[in-house]
Amino acid sequence: MGVKTMPLVHIDLLEGRSEEQLKALVKDVTAAISKDANVPAERIHIVLNEMKPSHYSVGGTLKSDQ
């Protein structure tokens, strides 16, 4: 049975990580999905959404105010 799916992964995180950290993140996530879902790495799509701390809140307080 051939896998014909295209996993699309959205990752939301606060901005501030280096390009090297983001590269490592997508590499590790891709490897895990490929292994656990039996999907070729080239079919896995990842979207990184980086948010400003002033655009994210926990408990009614902006992260930029913490």
Please give the Cα distance from 45 to 11 (Å, whole number): 11
Q: Which amino acid is at 23?
A: K
CA 62 → CA 25, 48, 49, 56, distances in Å?
Answer: 25, 20, 17, 6
Active site includes 53? no
- The active-site residue out of 2, 7, 12, 60 is 7
| Active-site amino acid positions | 7
